[in-house]
Amino acid sequence: MYIPRPAKLPFTIDDGWNKFLEKYGDSVSSWTRLSVERMLACGTCAMGVRRYCCASHDCSHSRFFCQSCK
């Protein structure tokens, strides 16, 4: 189950970031837009995924971890 990070909540609840861009998009600098989009991608599959598997050949367990920007 995906639980967003607290810093992301104002941007993700009710599509807040996209609504903000619709209203004030012309006054948002490209650097701010890039920073927010990278922050929203952090910890999701967009940043890449690592797969860890059991060392036993008979075991089929594996786990996926989304990369973060740290």
What was the pLDDT predicted at 1? 54
pLDDT one-digit tens code per residue, 1-60:
566 678 888 888 898 999 999 999 999 999 999 999 988 888 888 888 888 888 888 888
Contacts of 66 (CB under 8 A, 6+ apart): 43, 44, 45, 47, 48, 49
Task: State pTM to two decimals.
Answer: 0.68
C-alpha dist (Å) from residue 26 to 6, 14, 41, 59: 27, 21, 22, 54
Reduce the secondary structure of 2-17 to three states and give it as a string: CCCCHHHHHHHHHHHH
